[in-house]
Every structure is written in C-alpha cells, then in structure tokens.
A and B are shown apart, each in its own frame.
Chain A
Amino acid sequence: MSFLVLQGIQKRFTGSASAAVEDFNLAAEKGEFVSFLGPSGCGKTTTLRMIAGFELPTAGTITVGGNDITHRPANRRNVGMVFQSYALFPNMSVADNIGFGLRVRKRPKDQIRKRVGELLELINLPDKGGRYPYQLSGGQQQRVALARALAIEPEVLLLDEPLSALDAKIRVALRKEIRSIQRQLGITTVYVTHDQEEAMSLSDRVVVMSEGRVEQIGPPPEIYNFPATPFVASFVGTLNLLPAVVVDGTAARISVADQEIRGSRPVTTAGRGRVTVALRPEAVELGEGGGENRLRGTIEDVSFLGSIVRTRVKIADDATLSFDQFNDPALTPPGIGDMVTVSFPAEATLVLEGTTSPDAAIEQAIAES
C-alpha cells in the first residue's frame, strides 16, 4: 500500500470561477521523491499546501501511512515543510530554530541539544548554532530551514520551491545535498518547482501539472521521452517542427525545403501532400555522421549555455532547426552565416500528417511516439 495518497483532490477558492486544483490523484511510496512540476498558477503549491494542512481541499482525501489527515490541523500532521522564503524565526538562533519543534514536543533539553548537534553536522554547519538567521547567507539559511523541518522526524517532507531564491551555483550544490540527505533518511518527499532540470535531476517521479490538472505522472526519462500530452511535450524539453512535402509515402520519402529525407515509417498522405517533421534537438548532429538524413542550411544563431552549445540552423524561410553540442575546448562552433550540413537518423524523424498548427503537430507527435 502506498504511503502518501491523494485521492480526487479538488480545491476551489471562494469567488473563483475555476478550480485551482482538479481531480488530483497520486500514490507515493515510502521514501519516494516526487516533484510537482509546472508553470506559475498551475496548482502545484496549492496541492502541497493541502498536504501540509494550510489549505483544506474542497473534495477528496489525503492519507499518510493509511491515516486520513484531510481535516487534521497542520500542527498535528507531523509533516515537515521548507519554504521558498526560508521562514526562519528571526528572533531565534540557528540552534533554537532547529530545536523549536522538539521544544514544542516537550523533549528533554539534553535530547534536544544532541539532536540539534546531529542536524547541524548533517547540514554541514556544525559551528553556526549560535548565529542568527540574518548572519547567514541564503544557502545557509535554507539548509537551516531543512534541518528544522527534519528535526521533528516528519512522516512526509514538503519543499516549496526551496532553491528559487538562490543563485545558480548554490542551487545546484544544494539540490544535490537535499537529495543526498533525503536518500540517507529515506523520507517521503514532495518537492515543488517550475524548473524542469531540478525536477528531472532530483526526482524518482515527476508530476507535471497545468491549469490545476495533472498532465502526466512518471519517472523523469518517461516524462521526457514519452510525453502524454501536448503540454508536457512543450513544457519539458524542446521539439523542432519543420514543414515538408511527401515525395513517396510508401517509401517514407519526404522533402524539407527541396531536400529529400526519409521518415521513420511509411506515410499515407499522397504525393506532394503537406506534412510536418518533428525532431528532438539531441537527435541532430552537425556534419554528416549523425544518420542517413541530411539537411543543408545557414547558421542563424549560436548560443553558449555552459556545458552545451545550442545552434539554430535556417533550412528555409519557414523552417529552422535547433541542435545541441557538448561544449569542450576542442569544439569549434560554426560562425553565423556559415553554410552547414546537419544529419539525423531516419528513426528519429517523426512525420506528422495532416497538421497545420504547431500544437496539433505536437499532439500528433505524442500520439505516434
């Protein structure tokens, strides 16, 4: 039986025409790390707040370890929460902040001192117990907030965009730390984020949400490779869409800007019929070594994104294609305006028939993948 179960959860705020969360179902196992991923206003934080007990669902039930906690007050749920704004008590030292939950539970003083010491070690701040929150950096404050939430040994740990106020480098370091601590303690964790990289790298499973509804629940590779809805396909990763015409449907031969390529399967559209080609950027390579399909075009843009270089190639006026290359010192990226050839395998070439709009194309790409 699953440890954390959300069944038919709905939330309607008074005076609002639409539901903030609609028919949300999730069953998380003990020790699982689940992320809620979606854009602002998709209902991910509202769902988290319902698990924490700060919001009451309009319909549905929430159970933890088989106990229905739907209507239990927040302070009797034993659910730890880490806030985006840290929410450390400014009048208390770091040690007092961490020990607050234990003092509320009337634990003996020496036991509190011991536990606080252990947690300070766990978050790598053993000598900062006497400091006040304003004397710490953002990253350190968030680590203290994590220790404070863990001190009470919660059944479920909730993290509401805990890294979004931090700079990129600290964010990456801290997310590794969060995952390592979570694994070490084996605590069931729900993590809210709008950053797909964060969700993908941290989670056992990702819940992609849009407009209050669950779009897809699955492990990160499944979410990326097999998106269940157009929204997931467009929100997670990128997809190249190129207009094309059919040359020979049975042989899956099509033409993009008068350059012939081969699709992954036969096409039913008649000769000269219009179709759309869908390609993931990682399937495309610069040069002729990436597969039997080749397209020539002009470099329109080259962007350095740290570990990767993203290049955009103009195949025709209405057809541009992006692809990524790993950045290494030996890499010489092409210059803007250079004529280049890109290649990709026929298996990665998804031909979408009878589609005109990008949304419809994405929808069909999903249906066919």
Chain B
Amino acid sequence: MTAPPRVGDRGIQTAISSATATASTTRRGPSGSRIASWLIFILAMLYFFLPLVATLEFSLRAKPFGAAYTNTLKDPQFFASLGYSFVVGLITIITSTLIIVPTAYWVRLRLPRLRPIVEFVTLMPFVIPPVILAFGLIRSFSKGFLPLAGSQRGSDVLLVAAYTILSFPYMYRAVDTGLRTIDVRSLTEAGHSLGAGTLRILWSVIFPNLRVAILSGAFLTLAIVIGEFTLALYLARPAFGPYLQHLGQNASYEPAAVSLISFGLTWIAMAFIALLGRTSRGAGGRVEVGGAR
C-alpha cells in the first residue's frame, strides 16, 4: 500500500511521486508494475556489465592466471604513456578552465546575445573530425613564425592546444550549467559595491561557486584526453591512446586488462568528484542565493 503524501521537507515532491506511484499502481496493478521495473533494471545492468564481464573473463584466460595484468603493470611504457596523458590532461584542464570560465561568465553577465554564437563555436569539435584538426595544426605550425610541430616540446604545446579545443563542448556546458545555479549578476554587483574588481570577483566568488561544475567538465576532459588516439598519433606524442592501439596490435590478453584498468581509474575519478561535491559547503554543491528558508 502506498504511504500517504507527507508534507514537510520535500513535501510536494513526495506528494507528487506518491501520487504518480499510486496512479501507475492503479493502472497496471502492483505486481505487474514491479515486474516491469525489475525487468528494465536487469536489462540495463546486463547491457552495461556484460561487455565488462566478457572483457574480464577474456583477460583472465592468459596463463598463468592474471598474467595479462601483471604484464601490463610491469610494462614501463604503460605508466609512461598513462603518466604523459595524465599530465597533458591536467594542463588541458587548467587551460580550458582559464578560457571557458571567464568567457562563460562574461557572456552570461554582459553579452547574453552572444550566447548562441559561443555555444556554436564550442560545439565545433563535434563537427570537425580530429584528423582534420591534426593536419590543420601540422600544416599551420610546421613553418613560419611558430614552427611548433618541428620540436617535441612544440608538439606537446600543439597537443595541449588541440585537446583544449576538444574539451570546449564539455567544459562550456558544465560551467554554463553551474553559472545558472548562482545569481551571477547580483554576486558580481555585490562584489563591485564592496570594492572588488572583476578578477578578484572571478577568483574569490565565481570560481569557488563553480567548483563542482568545473570538476565535472574536468573529469570529462580527462576521460577524453586519456582515450584520445588520432591527434596524439599524428603529432607523434607518447600518449596512452597510441599505446593502447599498439598493444592491441601486438598482444592478445593485455589490451583487455588495460581497458579494465582504465575503466577502474575512471570510476575512481568519478567517486572523487562525487566526494568533493558532497563535502563542498555551500559552494557549488549546495548553492543557495537569495533563498529564504
């Protein structure tokens, strides 16, 4: 039997969900509804976990037991390429944040009419394939004032620049959504009235309140950088993507082990973000501006 709607904290939500539950229960009957829910849940879980279980099972076929994992962890190239991609990812995140946060903030505050244009520009990486971006960068920066493609350090810079562009759709959306949860205009004006300049407001007020949004964008950026293959290959950088591809061509069980290890790392990163979101006091995790309680 459905509990009566409770009015209090989240009373309306409770009432709505109870009412919805009551309505659906009345239509399909209690047992039918429960079976359908479980069926959908089981199917979703199978769709999600079956490939992982299959990969795990395949990776464990290597003899002796667990050899694929020990071989991977013993390979110095694994850590070198993963470390390289991780460092490139971090620099990309910092660069992207420094470009996107002030841009999104300024567009929201002063140039709301430019928002569709900025949104379109940030979506360009979805339209232009990475291979075109790679060849464009190589052609533009091989000669002339900035022959970056001619040196290793220069290619690193090009790779970070290209990854920064690839991160725009994820970073911009995450930051823009974060900005929507705070009263940017009032907070900025309050800061100005107290004597602060725009940079001070960005650093002391806007950035801390976007912490979780920036972390979400950062996580997606890191995931893309770790798995990216095309740009790193054409710019001849020792990243994790080309290493994984090379491994796939020359070993049988190790690629499956590497996939699972990188999957595990992804989950750890997600848990880290969730933890930060939960422990953030007021900022980002629980932003309330002007809410009477």
Contact = CB atoms under 8 A, between A and B. Distances in A.
Contacts of B190: 81, 83, 87-89, 145, 148
B293 A75 contact: no
B177 interface: no
Contacts of B205: 89, 91
A149 B196 contact: no
A86 B197 CA distance: 20
Contacts of B283: 90-91
Interface stretch (A17-25, A128-136, A305-313): A128-136
A52 interface: yes
Interface in A101-160: 101, 104-105, 132-134, 136-138, 141, 145, 148-149, 151-152, 158
A102 B125 CA distance: 44
B195 interface: yes
A134 B291 contact: yes
Contact of A79 (B193, B196, B197, B200): B193
Contacts of B189: 52, 54, 74, 81, 83, 87
Contacts of A149: 193-194
Interface stretch (B33-41, B158-166, B180-188, B268-276): B180-188
**A78, A87, A105, A148: residue with the most chain B Cβ atoms closer than 10 Å:** A87
A264 to B, nearest CB: 48
A105 B208 CA distance: 21
Contacts of B281: 91, 132
Nearest to B190: A87
Contacts of A76: 195
Contacts, number: 109
A108 B101 CA distance: 31
B71 to A, nearest CB: 47
Given A85-B183, A132-B282, A105 B195 contact: yes
Nearest to A140: B293
A53 B186 contact: no
Contact of A91 (B183, B186, B208): B208
B116 to A, nearest CB: 18
B288 A91 contact: no
Contacts of A134: 282, 286, 288, 291, 293
Interface residues of B, number: 30
Nearest to B293: A137
Contacts of B8: none
B45 interface: no
Interface in A42-59: 52-54
A151 B192 CA distance: 14
Nearest to A83: B186
Nearest to A136: B293
Contacts of A132: 281-282
Interface string B39-57: 0000000000000000000
Interface in B175-219: 182-183, 186-187, 189-197, 200, 204-205, 208-209
Contacts of A88: 190, 289
A85 B293 contact: no
A165 interface: yes
A166 interface: yes
A81 B190 CA distance: 7
B289 A87 contact: yes
Nearest to A81: B193
A40 B192 CA distance: 25
A227 interface: no
A100 interface: yes
Contacts of B187: 87, 89
Interface in B236-293: 281-284, 286-293
A138 B291 CA distance: 7
A336 to B, nearest CB: 35
A133 B282 contact: yes
A133 B200 contact: no
A136 B208 CA distance: 20
A126 to B, nearest CB: 20
A148 B190 CA distance: 10
A131 B193 CA distance: 23
A144 to B, nearest CB: 12
Given A134-B293, A137-B292, A104 B195 contact: yes
A90 B195 contact: no
Contacts of A104: 194-196, 200
Nearest to B200: A104
A141 to B, nearest CB: 8
A132 B209 CA distance: 13
Contact of A87 (B183, B196, B287): B183
Contacts of A89: 187, 190-191, 204-205, 209
Nearest to B198: A75
Nearest to A134: B288
Contacts of A243: none
A84 B289 CA distance: 11
B208 to A, nearest CB: 4
A80 interface: yes
Contact of A54 (B192, B194, B209): B192
Interface of B: 182-183, 186-187, 189-197, 200, 204-205, 208-209, 281-284, 286-293
Given A87-B187, A91-B205, 8 more contacts: A75-B191, A85-B289, A89-B187, A90-B282, A90-B289, A152-B194, A165-B290, A165-B292
Nearest 6 interchain pairs by C-beta: A138-B292, A85-B290, A91-B283, A101-B194, A87-B186, A91-B208
13 contacts: A75-B192, A85-B289, A89-B190, A89-B205, A90-B209, A90-B283, A101-B195, A101-B196, A104-B200, A134-B291, A138-B293, A152-B194, A158-B193
